[in-house]
Amino acid sequence: MSSPLAAPRSQTRNKQRSNFELYGWLFMRISGIVLVFLVLGHLFIMNILDGGVQRINFAFVAGRWSSPFWQVWDLSMLWLAMLHGGNGMRTIINDYAERDQTRFWLKMLLYVATVFIIILGTLVIFTFDPSLG
């Protein structure tokens, strides 16, 4: 079977091309595997174990975050999930927003919102004050 495509006339690969998309692709798979455990574990504990969501209140959160184990768990989950989801959204915007301007501003909105949520969540975990309760 002969190829209907003409042979390339010039080298398409630019010298300064970065490997950003390759690392993004790899990051989705590595973070994905870690998130399977972190997120499914989180959902199981919060929604199914004991009384499920019915038992969650301020005191419950205070009890969990008194342990560095759950702090690290929640912090890793926050960062990995936001970056994994943010990169997924970036891919979807690139696929469906056809106008350059639309694509640019949607991605700016995405980046600002993603960074905001990561910083907010990180501060909440690190500055949590159980004595408020």
Partner 1 sequence: MATKTPVSLTATPIGTLYRGGEGMWTWVLQRITGVSVFFFLFVHVLDTALVRVSPEAYDTVIATYKTPIVALLEVGLVGAVLYHALNGIRIILIDFWSRGPRVQKQMTWVIAAIWLVVMVPGVFFMLKHSVEALFGSTP
By CB under 8 A, is residue 120 in contact with partner 1? yes
Q: Angle of helix 58-65 relative to helix 68-96, nearest 10 degrees? A: 110
Helix %, strand %, coil % for the chain, to 5? 75, 0, 25
CB of 6 to partner 1, least distance (A): 6
46 HSE (CA, 13 A, CB side): 12
CB of 78 to partner 1, least distance (A): 7
By CB under 8 A, is residue 98 in contact with partner 1? no
Instruction: Tell which one of 23, 40, 41, 111 touches partner 1 (CB under 8 A).
Output: 40
CB of 84 to partner 1, least distance (A): 9
Per-residue tokens: 51: 């009384």
By CB under 8 A, is residue 6 in contact with partner 1? yes
Contacts of 117 (CB under 8 A, 6+ apart): 82
What is the DSSP annotation of 74-130? HHHHHHHHHHHHHHHHHHHHHHH--SHHHHHHHHHHHHHHHHHHHHHHHHHHHH--G
Instruction: Tell which one of 36, 108, 109, 115 touches partner 1 (CB under 8 A).
Output: 36
By CB under 8 A, is residue 75 in contact with partner 1? no
Residues that bind partner 1 (CB under 8 A): 4-6, 29, 32-33, 35-36, 39-40, 43, 47-48, 51-54, 56-59, 61-62, 78, 81-82, 85-86, 88-89, 92, 113, 117, 120-121, 123-124, 127-129, 132-133
